[in-house]
Amino acid sequence: MDVQIREVKKALDLVYNGSGADHRKADKWLQQFQQTAEAWQVADSLLMMPDAELQVTFFGAMTIHSKIRFDFHELPSATLPSLKSSLTAHLTRWATAKDLRPAVVTRLCLALAALAVQTNWTGAVQELSSAIMQSAPRDQQGRAARVVLELMKVLPEECCNKNVAVADDLREAFRQHLDASAPLLLGFLSEVAAGPLGQDVMVQETIFQCLQSWVRYTSIPPADLAAHPLFPAAFDALRTPDLFEAAADLLVQVLRTYCHPEDSMPIVKIMVPRAMALDAAYAASVAEEDEDTARGLCRLFTEMGESYLEMLLWGEELGQLSLVRMLLACTAHPTPEIAAIPLQFWFPFCEALGELQPQELRAHKLAVFGPTLDELVMVLVRLMRFPEDLDQRTEDQVSDIKQHRYDVADVLRDCCQVLGAVHCLGRAVAALEGELAALRAAPGGAEAWHMAEACLFAARSVAQGVPSHDEDAVPRLLAALPRLPPSSPHLRYTANLVVGRYSRWLKHHPDTLGPMFNYLMGGFQTRDCAAAAATAIKQVCHNCAALMGEPALALYDHLQAAKANIQVSESFHDEIEILEGLCHVASALPLQTALPALHRMAAPIAAGLSAPPSLRGALQDLDRLCVLLEHAAPALGAHDAHPAVALLSGVWAALDALPSRWPESAALAEKLCRCHKHAVRAAGAARAEPLLAPLAARVARAFAAPPHHSPYLYCASVCVGVFGGDARLAPALGGVLVEMSGAVFAMMAGGLPQVRANTLANPDVVEEYYYLLARFVQHCPRPLLEALLLPDAMRLAQLGLQLQHREAHSGVMHFLGEFVDLGTKGRDAEQYRPAVAAVMGAHGEPIIRVLLERIISRDAPAYAADERGVGGKSVVTLLWRLRRLNVQWLRQWLEGAVATAPPAAAPQVCSLLRARIEIHASLPVTWYSAAAVCQSLLVGAMQAVLHTLLPLPDSLHELHTL
């Protein structure tokens, strides 16, 4: 062991003092050493070295804690008493050592707490506190008390920490023991607080932290907590700067835990008057710019508002308005970070107020709280102001400021649910008009644009709730836009977006549409505002397409002419926005006019694709084409061809030339496939049928050519989804599948090492290929079953499951689940069941073995055992599906998989089942045997599925009898 200790010290020295490869190698070695059985004794020895360096002692404490959390099963039960004694001795020694090491003491407290949970140590609270206090010299009693308090603090935290791998019944038993020990803990805290040690500020802080932990994780009766002297003492401690944070955290936790007033009235009777008496302290903190105090009090008031929301709406008058007014004052705090704290209160408050019944009570409460909410509207508008130095802020800071504005806008929309969107808009418009008057009156006032812009942002935020028949606020708002000072691009930017947001209103007021569209065209000429104007033009074209008419399409000609004078890199996104809008305008025209208009818009795109000057130019033209194919949707008669078919057919030759010119470009392949996808989806199966044959040939040919871009597989999946329901087209789809499968298998060919390397190098191909197979299973399974490629696909699936790639793993799991379902679900299940059973009977066992190996591997990513998979992609869901196919097979496969696992993996399997698969029943005592582990896996996993997906109580008995 001396050799191992020297190796650990050497590695620690490299971790703390080394660099580069030596540092990384030493760190990895230490992590691996912590997972060995020898780490128990080495860590114990390190803790017994009084003169060792801090990093050595801390590593010993951290290792002991980690081993107890994760590897407790390694210890024979006979060693537990000595482990308790050893850990207690270590803690008492380091708690009073001359060389104070708080990090080591804290980690030892965590280790003892985890041990108490693992062993259901019912006497832990009393035994440990007595041992530590009695072993400390008289002059070290203060330090010993803080250590005891730290230990008492972490006991409930570790009990509820899911990282401690312990059976649920043991965890619950220890939690109940803590509940029963709460009176003992409260008495100990009172004794310490009332004694001479209680005069130490650090001890007082730890007392509050300890009580907060027990309030959060245990069940202390409300009457007991309300009667305890520490509860009112926390309010007094708010006046002491060194105790403010701990006291505020405790009070906030009390509010979170006892959040139902009717069940915790003893606490409410103390909390409400004492908290509301802090209004003067909050006002003083604002006046003195004491942000720490203001932040803590805002948290307290906000938590009280959320916890006592129900009481705020009681019909009985209890002074509820005072708390709401206090939260209004918090929302008006000049520091945005503090003002953001109470924002989370207003949504549930407005929602509950708006839904309050009966109507008489709702009307009464609206009369009480309505004026405060009306004030809140303008507080929120002021919170939306950009800072004066916006242009000097960093990009990240500007992003945070904008996100804060969006959060404030959410609250403003909550107010609209109570006050009405028109009322809130009217308040913003009135403020805007006042700002404009002040700007015109003040010399140089045009530079003070910030409040006017905030008013516009507020008006934009509430637009969705404003009815199209409003004849007051919206006309005033739009009339104010041309009168805005032109000096600020920020102001014009927001004004452009306002027009777009009110485009639905413009649809019902065509007399205003022309002036506003011209206003947007003016904004489009300003570089800093062009993006907002383009977005607004798109919205106006979309919502007012029937009113725009063919003259609006002249804007596209304007764009083409302007390209020579505008840098494409700066205007391309804006052009795409406008192009999308003009597609809506063209689609609203009569068909005989719409088709020529769409072809006229496509002509410059086709010309660009025929002779692209660069890859970048080709990608941009493909984006333009994609917009046309996706959004060109004129009204068609029953026998009319969809324009997307003609548009795509007209550029086949140009598109065919692109991959050969830039074969390595994955972006080019992705954009080509997006065009194909939107064309067939927009036209639909019947109208897009002429595209299927040429498209299938092109997609298969393009994928077969190196470097085998995965988007072509996705494009084939889209074709299966669109055309798969038509049995006439199944042969064509099957041909694509055979060709692409051949290319995939050829990519992965070779000996096993080469196949693994090829799979690892192409995870996106694995992902998309198995999603393609799943699409065949869902829409037209017969070509898949008849193609004789499933054996190779299943063998490749085993390798795909071993990839460190979330999406590839998800694609394989999705296919496996859908394939098994093909023979067990749906009206055609009996027809396909023999074929499914034949394939799974031959390949199910190695697949289950791979899955189990991935779950128990220490290097496995979290998603390998993620039971929250969406769409049936989780291990548990696959087990459930296989059980429906053949329960005996599943049982045999699991037994075989566990039997071939390393002997030391059995407890690891059980630990992972508890921690990741979340078994709801305790594991059997004999869970070290392979058969028992297998049965636990099957029953537990099935229970998890039944509990979350298929609540069929009768099936539980069947599972337990397997």
Range of the domain at 5: 1-55
Our CA angle for 940, 942, 944, nearest 5°, is 70
User: What does each C-alpha distance from 718 to 51, 623, 721, 724, 736 come to in angstroms?
Assistant: 69, 19, 5, 9, 12
Quick check: is 719 in a domain? no
Residues near 652 by Cβ (< 8 Å), separated by ≥ 6?
694, 698
* Residue 859: predicted pLDDT: 56
Query: Does residue 543 share a domain with residue 571?
Result: yes
Tell me the average pLDDT across 837-852. Answer: 93
Give mean pLDDT, residues 151-158: 94
Least confident of 54-58, 691-695, 767-771, 802-806: 802-806
Query: What span, in angstroms and rounded, lies between the C-alpha atoms of 386 and 743?
Result: 56
Number of domains forming the structure of the chain: 3
Is residue 780 in a domain? no
CB contact at 8 A, 695 and 676: yes
On whether both 48 and 151 belong to a single domain, the answer is no
The residue that leads in pLDDT, 145 or 961, is: 145
- CB distance 13 to 23 below 8 Å: no
**Same structural domain for residues 85 and 150?**
yes
Radius of gyration for the alpha carbons in the chain, expressed in angstroms and rounded: 35
529 and 489 in a single domain? The answer is yes
CA distance 814 to 822: 12
- pLDDT per residue as tens digits for the range 734-779: 999 999 999 999 988 877 788 778 888 899 999 999 999 999 999 9
pLDDT at 445: 55
Quick: pLDDT tens for 246-266: 999 999 999 999 999 989 999
201/204 Cα distance (integer angstroms): 5
Say which residue, 311 or 911, is predicted with more confidence: 311
Q: Inter-axis angle of helices 930-948 and 905-912, to 10 degrees?
A: 10
* Residue entry with tokens 């068609």: 636
Does residue 552 surpass a pLDDT of 80?
Answer: yes
pLDDT digits (tens, 9 = 90+) for 634-670: 999 989 999 999 999 999 999 999 999 999 999 999 9
CA distance 316 to 67: 56
- The gap from C-alpha 325 to its chain's centroid, in whole angstroms, comes to 34
User: Higher model confidence: residue 142 or residue 287?
Assistant: 287
Query: 44 and 110 share a domain?
Result: no
CA distance 303 to 330: 12
What pLDDT was estimated at residue 916?
Answer: 37
Convert the pLDDT of each residue in 912-924 to its tens digit.
Answer: 444 433 332 333 3
| Cβ burial, residue 281 (10 Å; 0-12/13-18/19+) | middle
Tokens 């008489």, located at residue: 360
Which residues, 6 or more positions from 783, have their beta carbon under 8 angstroms from its beta carbon? 730, 731, 733, 734, 737, 776
Last residue of a domain, one of 166, 189, 220: 220
Would the pLDDT of 469 be above 60? yes
Across residues 849-868, what is the average pLDDT? Answer: 65
Exposure on the CB side of residue 569, measured as CA atoms within 13 A: 1
Position 886 pLDDT exceeds 80: yes
> Could you tell me which residues come within 8 angstroms of residue 882 by beta carbon, excluding any fewer than 6 positions away?
820, 840, 844, 848, 889, 890, 893
pLDDT over 70 (residue 392):
yes
- C-alpha span between 305 and 13 (Å, rounded): 52
880 located within any domain: no
- Assess whether pLDDT exceeds 90 at residue 98: no
Question: What is the model's pLDDT at position 655?
Answer: 96
Region 831-855 average pLDDT = 91
How much is the pLDDT for 915? 40
Q: Calculate mean pLDDT across residues 316-336.
A: 93
Backbone angles phi, psi at 121, to 5 degrees: -75, 90
Q: Of 821, 915, 907, 802, which Cα lies nearest the Cα of 864? A: 802
Give ∠ CA 506-507-512 in degrees, rounded to 5.
40
> Does residue 951 register a pLDDT over 50?
no
Angle between helices 875-885 and 806-822 (to 10 degrees): 20
What confidence score (pLDDT) does residue 624 get?
A: 96
Contacts of 377 (CB under 8 A, 6+ apart): 412, 415, 419, 424, 427, 428
Q: Do the Cβ atoms of 823 and 837 come closer than 8 Å?
A: yes
DSSP string, 216-236: HHS---HHHHHHSTHHHHHHH
Looking at 554, 588, 622, which one is the last position of a domain? Answer: 588
Distance between CA atoms of 472 and 478, rounded to whole angstroms? Answer: 10
**874 in helix, strand or coil?**
coil
Maximum mean pLDDT: which of 34-38, 390-394, 532-536: 532-536
Instruction: Select from 714, 655, 715, 724 the least CA-distant residue to 689.
Output: 724
**Number of residues in the chain:** 962
**Residues 729 and 692 sit within 8 Å (Cβ to Cβ):** yes
| Cα dist from 335 to 248, 325, 338, 655, whole Å | 20, 18, 5, 56
Which of 548, 572, 588 marks a domain boundary?
588
pLDDT of residue 593: 93
The pLDDT, as a whole number, for residue 143 is 83
Q: Are residues 88 and 194 in the same domain?
A: yes
Higher pLDDT, 931 or 578: 578
Q: How far is CA 231 from CA 146, 252, 621, in A?
A: 19, 12, 69
User: What is the per-residue pLDDT for 229?
Assistant: 95
Judgement on whether residues 148 and 43 belong to the same structural domain of the protein: no
User: What distance in Å separates the CA atoms of residue 328 and residue 275, rounded to the nearest whole number?
Assistant: 15
How far are the Cα atoms of 761, 855, 863 from residue 756, in angstroms, in the given order? 9, 19, 20
Q: Which pLDDT does position 953 carry in this prediction?
A: 30
Average pLDDT in the 870-881 region?
72
> Residue 871: which H helix or E strand, with range?
none
Q: Mean pLDDT, the chain, as a whole number?
A: 88
Q: Quick check: helix, strand or coil at residue 866? A: coil
Burial of residue 45 (number of CB atoms within 10 Å: 0-12, 13-18, 19+): middle
CA dist 190 and 185 (Å) reads 9
Do 455 and 577 share a domain, yes or no? Answer: yes
Asked if 235 contacts 272 with a C-beta cutoff of 8 angstroms, the reply is no
- What's the pLDDT score for residue 444? 60
Residues near 243 by Cβ (< 8 Å), separated by ≥ 6?
A: 201, 204, 205, 208, 237
800 contacts: CB under 8 Å, gap ≥ 6: 759, 766, 770, 808, 809, 811, 812
Query: What pLDDT does 751 receive?
Result: 73
Query: Which amino acid, one-letter code, is at 171?
Result: R
Distance CA(56)–CA(94), nearest Å, equals: 14
| 21 and 107 assigned to the same domain | no
* 498: nearest Cα among 425, 434, 448, 574: 425
What's the average model confidence in pLDDT over 346-352? 95
User: What pLDDT is stored for residue 757 in this prediction?
Assistant: 84
Angstrom distance (rounded) from CA 80 to CA 108: 16
In this prediction, residue 550 carries a pLDDT of 85
Do residues 216 and 82 share a domain?
A: yes
Categorize the per-residue pLDDT at 961 as very low, low, confident or very high, splitting at 50, 70 and 90: very low
DSSP-H helix ranges across 526-665: 530-543, 545-548, 554-562, 568-587, 591-610, 615-631, 643-649, 652-661
551/157: higher pLDDT: 157
pLDDT level of residue 873 (50, 70, 90 thresholds): low
Q: What's the mean pLDDT in 58-76? A: 92
DSSP E strand stretches across 110-239? none
Q: Do 629 and 695 contact (CB within 8 A), yes or no? A: no
Q: Look up residue 385 and give its amino acid.
A: R
Tens digit of pLDDT for each residue in 785-794?
A: 998 899 999 9
DSSP state at residue 915: I
Q: Are residues 25 and 86 in the same domain?
A: no
Q: Is the model's pLDDT at 897 over the cut of 90?
A: no
Question: Which stretches within 96-139 are classed as H helix?
Answer: 102-119, 124-135
* Confidence bin at 864 (pLDDT 50/70/90): low
Transcribe 367-393 into DSSP letters: HHHHHHHHHHHHHHHHHTPPPTTGGGS
pLDDT at 555 > cutoff 80: yes
Mean pLDDT along residues 846-856: 84
In the structure, what pLDDT confidence band is assigned to residue 931 with cuts at 50, 70 and 90? very low
pLDDT > 90: percent of the chain: 69
Residue 84 clears pLDDT 80, i.e. is over it:
yes
Amino acid at 129: S
How confident is the model over 71-89, as a mean pLDDT?
A: 90
Residue 380, in any domain of the structure: no
pLDDT score of 95 = 84
pLDDT exceeds 60 at position 957: no
**What one-character-per-residue DSSP string does 436-505 give?**
HHHHHHSTTGGG--HHHHHHHHHHHHTGGGS-TT--SHHHHHHHHGGGS-TT-HHHHHHHHHHHHHTHHH
pLDDT value of residue 863 = 55
Mean pLDDT of 160-184: 91
CA angle 315, 317, 323 (to 5 degrees): 105
- Same structural domain for residues 24 and 159? no
Distance CA 29, CA 842 (A): 41
Residue 503, token pair as written in the block: 């485009």
What count of other Cβ atoms lies within 10 Å of the Cβ of residue 9?
17
- Assess if residue 545 is contained within a domain: yes
End-to-end CA distance of the chain, in Å? 47
Tokens 């995965």 correspond to 710
- Which region among 226-230, 328-332, 564-568, 803-807 has the lowest average model confidence (pLDDT)? 564-568
